[in-house]
Amino acid sequence: MASRTERFERKANPKPAVPLQTEEAEIVRFEPEEEAELLRESNERKAAANEKFAAGEYGEAIKIYAEAIATCPNYLYYERAVLNSNVAACHLKLEQWKETVKAASDSVDDLDRLDPTKSKEKENGSKGENAKELKAQEEEADEEIVSAGAAKAENTSDMARRKTDIERIRSKALLRRARARSEMGGWSALGGAEEDYKELSKMPNLSAADRKVVQRQLILLPPRTKAAQEKEMGDMMGQLKQLGNGILKPFGLSTDNFNMVKDEKTGGYSMNFNQGNK
């Protein structure tokens, strides 16, 4: 027998929302009573996952959070952002850095959909029909930001509370992603951690303890990022040299015939050929 969720999926309102300009699952909106029931089921799973997390059963919590995400309508961005942030917290406890980054990024992406200004940035200045769609998304986002499901906020105080909630979840997701990226190491990940901590440093809602962590990391990360960059560039040059020697050997040459000179100002390299070296 089909579950309540499956029945709702078949009866979903056929009127589509304005399509997003990314490759995502199609947004299909449910009737209000169906949406409320799906959200109730999702919240039940979320509560069960929270209990597993509190008990230190992080693997089980991840599984149940995944069920909650699957049940939650994909246009309830705030609710999904909370769930994805919780998944990131579980992976962080398990020191699963890549998975933490993925879940935290999903959370941030969901929150970005509630912010028209960030949606515009991601569209990279699209015009024409895209601009019309962005306007429609802004109108929908205004409704979704103040929604605990499908209900609209009745006054600006509700909107202010939801905005505060959004910033609170964003800071949690960014802190978790930044920590995971820092632990992963490597030029790209460390650079990403730096960017996350820079964004966090501008957020007024951080606790004193979190702000101290952010400020400390903004001191520690730049030299780590630079060292990782130089190491990866050195490794790449070593691989290129090995490849080049294989190609040049039949001609009686080697990469020793070519001197790579680094420009300390730009970080780039220039090549000089010395035919006398063999």
C-alpha torsion sign, points 127, 129, 132, 134: negative
Q: State the total domains in the chain.
A: 2
Residue 200: inside a domain: no
* 86 lies in the same domain as 160: yes
Domain that holds residue 260: 232-273
Asked if residue 54 lies in contact with residue 46, where contact means CB atoms within 8 angstroms, the answer is: no
| Exposure string over 20-42, b if 16+ CB within 10 A, otherwise e | beeeeeeeebbeeebbebbbebb
CA 204 to chain centre: 21
Q: Which residues contact residue 51 at a Cβ distance below 8 angstroms, ignoring those fewer than 6 apart?
A: none
- Nearest residue to 102 (alpha-carbon basis) of 172, 204, 173: 173
Same domain for 179 and 243, yes or no, is: no
What's the pLDDT score for residue 243?
78
* pLDDT per residue rounded down to tens, the chain (278 residues): 445 544 444 444 444 444 444 455 677 799 999 999 999 999 999 999 999 999 999 999 999 999 999 999 999 999 999 999 999 999 999 999 999 999 999 999 999 999 867 655 555 544 444 444 444 444 444 444 444 444 454 567 888 888 999 999 999 999 999 999 999 999 999 999 999 999 999 999 999 999 999 999 999 999 999 998 898 887 777 777 777 777 767 877 776 776 767 777 787 777 676 765 44
pLDDT given for residue 22 in this prediction: 45
Say what the pLDDT of residue 178 is.
Answer: 98
Full-model pTM = 0.69
119 and 30 both lie in a single domain: yes
In this structure, are 239 and 109 located in the same domain? no
**Residue 139 falls inside a structural domain:** yes
Q: Cα 211 from chain centroid?
A: 21
Other residues' Cβ atoms within 10 Å of the Cβ of residue 226 = 14
What is the spatial distance between Cα 45 and Cα 226, in angstroms, rounded to a whole number? 44
In a shared domain, residues 239 and 153: no
Structural domain contains residue 203: no
The per-residue pLDDT for 134 is: 43
List the alpha helices (DSSP H) in 202-267: 208-248
The enclosing domain of 121 has a CATH number of 1.25.40.10
Q: Say yes or no: 167 and 43 in one domain.
A: yes
62 shares a domain with 149: yes
In a domain, 210, yes or no: no
Instruction: Count Cβ atoms below 10 Å from residue 155 Cβ, excluding itself.
Output: 8
State the Cα–Cα distance between residues 180 and 172, nearest whole angstrom: 12
